[in-house]
A and B are shown apart, each in its own frame.
Chain A
Amino acid sequence: MSERSELHQDGDVPVEPRYVGQAITRREDPRFLLGRARYVDDVRTQGTLHAAFVRSDEAHARILSVDTSAAEALDGVVAVLTGAEAVEHWSPIRYDSTFGGWQGSEYWPLAPDKVRFVGEAIAVVVAVDRYVAEDAAELIGVEYELLPPVPTVDAAMAPGAPLIHDGWDDNCFLRRHVETEGFEDVMSECPQRRTLRLEMSRHSGMPMETRGCLAEWDDRNERIVLHCSTQAHFNLRSGVAEVLRVPEHEVQVIAPDVGGGFGIKHPMYPEEIVCSLLARRLRRPVKWIEDRREHMLTACHSREHYHDVEVGFDDDGVVRALRARIVVDCGAYSMWPLTASMDAGMALGILPGPYRIRNYLVDALSVSTNKCPLGAYRGVSRPAACFTIERTMDAVAEAVGIDGAEVRRRNLVRADEFPYTSVTGMVYDSGSFIESLEKVLEEADYAGLRRQQEAARAEGRYLGIGVATYTEQTAHTFEEFKKRGTPITFGFETSGVEVDPSGHVTVRISAHSHGQGLETSIAQVAADALGVDLESVRVRFGDTTELPYGMGTFASRSAVLCGGSTRLAADDVRGRMERIAAHLLEAAPEDIIIEKGRASVRGTPTASVSVRDIAHTAYLTPQLLPPGEEPLLSSTRTYDAAPGTGTFSNAALVAVVEVDVETGGVEVQKVVVVEDCGQIINPLIVDGQIRGGIAQGIGTALFEEFVYDEIGQLVTTTFMDYIVPGSPEVPDIEIHHLVTPSPFTILGIKGMGEGGAISPGALIAAAVEDAIRPLTPAHVHALPIRPDRVRAWIEEGAPQ
């Protein structure tokens, strides 16, 4: 028995892991390093026309007229299309939650009569190049009838507020209420209570590659071929077909190399529908590459949450009851395929976090405003929920006079309580909540840090220490999405494993890698499962013609679900190879071992055949197959990680910041994280995800916000205004791992891709508050922590 654990589930044949768990450098890297990757703008085809969109510069208005005559006359312009003209060619994007009381929006690919956010597309120009297309777009005159803008949730929910969507009763997509029995009694009996208001700003993933698509009409196959920088190519195919009202087999979607997604490229957007329609009508390829300004205006924003919380606790700091009002600013439209209810609903479910809170009452509102639609960004509402519950825990600690680490110890779900069903019905399958906390305090030398802090204060420097913990639901499928009320329950992923006649392996997966390294990690799983060399495995994804269906990459699910489906399909193929080998070697299938590309008889290593020989037999000399065995070495399987409630990763973090109390500037000096994501396929990739997530989290904590003015104009439209952390802003991050496998998933893998981004807001807020505590009793309950806010908190505390 090797010293690495056997990876198997009950009933499976144990497989010695040669690759899973190893820090293997990524197979896909050469093309990216050589400049040979193919992102959508690198996909070139003859005769391509280029699109530029005319976008609303009003937040809320009726469109009275659109004058395209000057644009159409410009040399190099091939076509111009307005929303009014296109109305009969498509349906609006309409995507409704299954919850009662839901009010749905209609999002036309080009607005025919009303615009509801600045940047909404009204018309499109198609020309010989983007320069000319922009020249023409400028010549299009739009006449508006201004309507009163509704730029905030307060404005949207005020009595008598202007209605953003026709036929609605008010501006609320959805209200939800959940309450445990006897809540009010429990809350009123709590020895102590505190109320808090937490706010997280509107910000977003900001991938380095903006959105884009190239739509072509394929004459031979009579279908639209849509190359698109997307995370969910199958769902996109379904959506485009539905909106264009064509059979789905008349649409093919290809996601090429994608330069970052973070959830922003999960939704279906109007532009890809417009380009698809134009390509079909013009019978010419139509390409649209989003520029950064468009991206800031129109690619989904995220995370704009307002939480009002009341926490009831006893004198030992044990939380007994939690009341919350969660309000999310969802912007103008409900996006496909998650709906506008996603953020508020998820926050409702995960707000109690990794803590043992049994009495819970929550109202969650998804509100529409005249702003860019909201989508899911890495963690979705978990960063806001984590911010709230962690700051709440710190408030409890302060109230009873104990340390932040101690209050967590007293409230975290304990090892012997797993699987733990939370008060909202989430099943925390396994975890190391307290163990990871203890370990991070030890690794960070928490006591030593406190001494350093004291020494620094004596020198007039303000260091602060923050602690945070979280649990991350990952790889959740049908059970969870049913509860969330999404019309599509993202119930499975799919893998096709095929050994070809040359004995080489192709794995096709329904997820898509836009940085996660799936070409390597999935190959590791497949190579181990089949007993072949890693070099003989190639992983493919992104083309909807290669597999029947899948959901794509989001919600930290690909490693678990595609890892699982790959394992299942590989097991099928391995089984057939064993039977064929057994037949060729005149042995019993259960005595066949396949490793390093050869099948041999256990105990008789000289009796062997190569995987290539087996494949040759299967495809090219099938007369040699065992009776009844079919002549293909291929299997396509799905996996849903039953029971579908997901598998929960967890982490605990310590951060040290230094606050310049004169300028309000915050420097993150140190971050230590203990992460538990079960069985790790590739530690390099996992650690990379953690570092990248934390870097984005630093952006959430200190820098990033979309700012709208009082008439709904977006003020932050360039990187001068929207600040993204650079290398000097992100410290080296110390990472440690615990391994608590999932009892539910194949190989015990848990997802973790979003995790790094979840806690930095809470973590850094706690650290900043700790740093300035000698100067002020102020609490850090709003993000981002801008320097002027820090100064304001300090001034609050100054003697009058």
Chain B
Amino acid sequence: MKPAAFDYHAPTTLDEALSLLQGAEDADAKLLAGGQSLVPTMNLRMARPAILIDLNRVDGLEGIRCDDGEWRIGAMTRHASIEDSPELATHVPVLPAVVAHIGYRPIRNRGTVGGSLCHADPSAEWPLLARLLRMDIDVTSVRGNRTLAADEFFEGIFTTAIAPDELLTAVRFRLPTPTWRWGFSEFARKAGDFAVAAAGVVLAVDGATITDASVVVAGTGREPLRLDAVEAALAGKALEDHHVDDAIRQVIVETASGLDVIADLHAPEAYRRRLVGVQVDRALAQARRSRREEQRSR
């Protein structure tokens, strides 16, 4: 399985990359980030870009920082950097914990945040994380910059709102205040494999009350879905109140059974719907037990 031929460019600046992108015929140019999703499809000749623009030598697209409570992660930041980051482990442990599920270490050494978001695989972790933490996604082109909210960025299976001449440069987000808890649960056929269903839960907590909830699922076969009904059911509830457990579980079950899912080799429809609900249940249970200060265990 060898790829079809292409013209190759390795720009060293963002401007160079953008003008190459703009100059190319839309459908025929592809940006090469980590390559861990793109190159296999090229080897299979399912993707055959005439032009490949390699972003790996462009300065300034990588990095993790926090300024005044706003976190910014550059698009070319490798999954392995997220996994290994001590700052994230301390302050945003949901990210390294979830990213560790992405394939295997060699994949994570090259795969990038931006690449994963733009590829928009329905089972992928990064699109889920982007919606879960309500990230802002910065994109740029020769025409200028714009920011899309994660909730508007993903449009469908392998489809995003990014324009053909645009390049994703960074994601930004703030953590819920004053404290927050998180949970994540994924079911895959085997370790490191694509998620059949996954769910992430982030709870903004004030004292003993959930002030806001973010509940996002992946693996339905479509873009990551925000479960508004579950979020609404959680808002304002006491964190530890087990009386609400059955009611919440009921909302989860009902929401899951109403989901629009795609059946595939690994999961027929009804099974998949129920499985999504199970992941939400487990992610929520973990969120309720966790504390923001909890150290990621390794």
When A and B assemble into the complex, do they touch directly, with CB atoms less than 8 Å apart?
yes
A787 contacts B by Cβ under 8 Å:
yes
Interface residues of A in 709-737 (CB under 8 A from B): 715-716, 718, 720-721, 723, 725-729
Task: Assess whether A186 is interfacial by the CB under 8 Å rule.
Answer: no
Within 8 Å of chain B (Cβ to Cβ): is A791? yes
Nearest-CB residue, chain B, relative to A729: B190
Cα of A249 to Cα of B196 in the assembled complex, Å: 55
**Interface flag for A291 (CB, 8 Å):** yes
Cα distance, A723 to B188, chains bound together (Å) = 11
Min CB distance, B121 to chain A, in Å? 11
Question: Does residue B245 face the partner (Cβ distance < 8 Å to A)?
Answer: no
A293 at the interface (CB under 8 A from B): yes
Among B3, B44, B191, B271: residue with most chain A CB under 10 A = B271
State whether B45 touches A130 (Cβ < 8 A).
Answer: no
Assess the A663–B191 pair: CB atoms within 8 A: no
Q: Which residue of A lies closest to B196 (CB)?
A: A787
The answer to whether the Cβ of B208 comes within 8 Å of any Cβ in the partner chain is no
| Closest A residue, CB atoms, query B48 | A138
Q: Is A583 engaged at the interface, CB distance under 8 Å to the other chain?
A: no
Point out the residues of chain B lying under 8 angstroms from A663, CB to CB: 187, 275, 278
Q: How far is the CA of A131 from the CA of B189 in the complex (A)?
A: 34
CB nearest to B269 among chain A residues: A788
Which of B1, B45, B265 sits near A716, CB closer than 8 Å?
B265
Interface string of B260-294 (1 = CB under 8 A from A): 00000111100100110010000000000000000
B4 lies within 8 A of chain A by Cβ: yes
Please, how many angstroms separate the alpha-carbon atoms of A715 and B263 in the complex? 14
Please determine whether B190 and A723 come into contact, CB atoms closer than 8 angstroms. Answer: yes
Q: Does A387 contact B (CB under 8 A)?
A: no
* Cβ-neighbour of A787 out of B5, B45, B189, B194 (below 8 A): B189
Which of A134, A291, A703 is in CB contact (< 8 Å) with B189?
A703
Chain B 38-52, CB-CB to A under 8 Å as 1, else 0, gives 000000110000000
Chain B residue with Cβ nearest A727? B191
Query: A726 touches which one: B44, B191, B196, B268 (CB < 8 A)?
Result: B191
Contact of B191 (CB < 8 Å), options: A293, A729, A786: A729
Shortest beta-carbon distance from A385 to chain B in Å: 27
Using Cβ atoms and an 8 Å threshold, which residues of chain B touch A791?
271, 274
| Chain A residue with Cβ nearest B188 | A665
Looking across the interface, which residue of chain B has its beta carbon closest to that of A699? B190
Complex CA distance for A84 and B267, rounded to whole angstroms: 43
Interface size on A, residues (CB 8 A): 30
Contact among A662, A716, A720 for B278, CB-based, below 8 A:
A662
Task: Report the separation of the CA atoms of residues A600 and B192 in the bound assembly, to the nearest whole angstrom.
Answer: 62
- Is B193 an interface position by the 8 A CB rule? yes
B188 to chain A: closest CB distance in Å? 9
* In the complex, B143 has a CB within 8 A of chain A: no
Report yes or no: A728 in contact with B271, Cβ–Cβ below 8 A.
no
Residue in contact with B265 in the complex, picked from A130, A664, A721, CB distance below 8 Å: A721
- CB of B194 to closest CB in A, whole Å: 7
Interface hits, B1-34 → A, CB 8 Å: 1-5
Q: Chain B residues with Cβ under 8 A from A662's Cβ?
A: 278
Min Cβ gap B298→A in Å is 16
Alpha-carbon separation in the docked complex, A792 to B270 (Å): 10
* B3, B196, B265: the one within 8 Å of A707 (CB): B265
- Could you say which of A134, A707, A715 contacts B2, with CB atoms under 8 Å apart? A134
A725:B190 contact, CB within 8 angstroms? yes
B191 touches A715 (CB 8 A): no
Decide yes or no whether A57 CB sits under 8 A from chain B.
no
**Assembly CA distance A28 to B4 (angstroms):** 39
Of B192, B194, B278, most A-chain CB atoms within 10 Å: B278
Nearest-neighbour CB distance to chain A for B227, whole angstroms, equals 18
Across-interface contacts of A727 in B (CB, < 8 A): 191
Known: A131-B2, A663-B278, A729-B190. 13 other contacts (CB 8 A): A138-B4, A292-B1, A293-B44, A662-B278, A664-B271, A665-B187, A720-B194, A723-B193, A727-B191, A787-B189, A787-B267, A788-B267, A791-B271
Could you pull out 11 A-B pairs where Cβ atoms are within 8 angstroms? A131-B2, A134-B1, A135-B5, A138-B45, A293-B1, A662-B278, A703-B189, A715-B265, A725-B190, A788-B266, A791-B271
CB-CB nearest 6 A-B residue pairs:
A728-B191, A788-B271, A131-B2, A291-B1, A662-B278, A663-B187
